């Protein structure tokens, strides 16, 4: 494998590993447990599930690799803190969204060539990108992987 | 910047960003608050501080870029769960270790060439590395960055 491909693959492996851990965690949580807070007065697991679906869905447009499916989740799970929005989607729906969005990302990720990961993401202008070439797709992947690890560290605190 | 260098730089930037966030978090915590649990019955902040120092210190030998300074922390902070070891180092000492180990890593990281990040780490044999070239230094960096993000997600739950 070429060094560049290898580096992309390693970052993709890290993403996959976090997705696998999170999926296995959510699968092991009952619908009831999804409504538990990670710590007293903090976010509930269901909020973090919706939050992660919305943020991952947003990667499709941010990376310029697809259209968003779940933009309607942004209001309850990105723009608002937990418990600010009364009616949340059902656990079974959020679970299906989680699987679906990560499957779509996985397919798109694996269709990109190593060099294409260094293309600019859609939230940076051509002019800025010329000065800041690190504002590319791979950077989004790296930062979203850390975002997922961050929330996973919180989720495992839920008492099962 | 060459594509390979750029990819290494992006992973280093992600590491730096997490270190900065964690340092700023620990600096904002009083010694007393360090003894608080992240959630009822869970790890205390001081345990996670010692844990992160020990794991980061271990990167020096794992990456083959230096000798460990704080191997004596492994017993209380890696091999044992929190509260299993009665006498922990003082907060002021752990804070100094944290700064020191990350400074050393930072210097060593920045002295490596992009290609050198793809060299094998010291916990894999030459034979295995030939079959699994991703078991290299960069992979350790990526996985330790996610490890730090994971615990940072927990630390921010501390009530200040």
Nearest CA to CA, how far is A20 from chain B (Å)? 14
The residue count of chain A comes to 160
Q: For residue range A133-158, what is the model confidence (pLDDT) as tens digits?
A: 999 999 999 999 999 999 999 999 99
CB contact under 8 A, A157 and B152: no
Whether the pLDDT of residue B36 is over 80: the answer is: yes
Q: Is B123 on the interface with A (CB under 8 A)?
A: no
C-alpha distances (whole Å) from B58 to each of A16, A129, B11, B65, B112 are 25, 36, 19, 10, 18
Of B4, B42, B152, the CB nearest to A150: B152
- Supply the pLDDT for residue A53: 98
Whether the pLDDT of residue A127 is over 90: the answer is: yes
Check if the interface score ipTM surpasses 0.85.
Answer: yes
Measured CA angle at B56 (ends A159, B36), to 5 deg? 40
pLDDT band at A32 (very low <50, low <70, confident <90, very high): very high
- Supply the pLDDT for residue B159: 81
What distance lies between CA B115 and its chain's CA centroid? Answer: 22
Bridge partners for B136 per DSSP:
B120
- Supply the pLDDT for residue A115: 96
The mean pLDDT value for A110-115 works out to 97
| Inter-axis angle of helices B137-155 and A137-155, nearest 10 | 50
Nearest CA to CA, how far is B70 from chain A (Å)? 25
- Supply the pLDDT for residue B107: 98
- Supply the pLDDT for residue B84: 97
Of B6, B145, B154, the CB nearest to A133: B6
Q: Is B28 on the interface with A (CB under 8 A)?
A: no
Q: Phi and psi dihedrals of A127, rounded to 5?
A: -65, -45
CB contact under 8 A, A147 and B149: yes
What percentage of chain A carries pLDDT values higher than 70?
A: 100
Q: Is A123 on the interface with B (CB under 8 A)?
A: no
What is the C-alpha separation between A32 and A149, in angstroms, rounded?
Answer: 23
Whether the pLDDT of residue B100 is over 80: the answer is: yes
Q: B43 near B70, Cβ under 8 Å?
A: no
Bin B71: left if φ > 0, else alpha if -120 < ψ < 50, else beta.
Answer: alpha
Whether the pLDDT of residue A160 is over 90: the answer is: no
Of A1, A146, A157, the CB nearest to B146: A146
- Supply the pLDDT for residue B160: 72
What is the C-alpha separation between A70 and B135, in angstroms, rounded?
Answer: 36
- Supply the pLDDT for residue B30: 97
The mean pLDDT value for A23-34 works out to 97
Of A4, A9, A13, the CB nearest to B4: A4
Q: For residue range B47-96, what is the model confidence (pLDDT) as tens digits?
A: 999 999 999 999 999 999 999 999 999 999 999 999 999 999 999 999 99
CB contact under 8 A, B6 and A151: no
Q: Is A3 helix (H, G, I), strand (E, B) or coil?
A: helix
C-alpha distances (whole Å) from B15 to each of A57, A63, B116, B138 are 25, 22, 17, 11
The residue count of chain B comes to 160
Chain A residues with CB under 8 Å of B151 CB are 153
């Amino acid at each position: 494998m070429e060094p560049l491909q290898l580096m992309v693959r390693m970052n993709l492996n890290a993403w996959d590993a976090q997705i696998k851990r999170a999926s296995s965690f959510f699968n092991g949580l009952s619908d009831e447990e999804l409504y538990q807070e990670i710590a007293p007065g903090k976010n509930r697991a269901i909020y973090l599930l919706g939050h992660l679906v919305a943020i991952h869905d947003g990667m499709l447009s941010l990376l310029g690799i697809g259209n968003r499916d779940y933009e309607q989740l942004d209001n309850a799970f990105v723009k608002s803190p937990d418990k600010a929005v009364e009616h949340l989607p059902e656990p079974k729906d959020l679970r299906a969204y989680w699987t679906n969005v990560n499957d779509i990302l996985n397919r798109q990720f694996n269709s990109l060539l190593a060099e294409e990961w260094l293309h600019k993401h859609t939230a940076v202008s051509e002019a800025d990108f010329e000065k800041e070439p690190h504002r590319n797709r791979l950077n989004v992947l790296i930062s979203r992987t850390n975002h997922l690890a961050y929330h996973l560290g919180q989720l495992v605190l839920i008492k099962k």
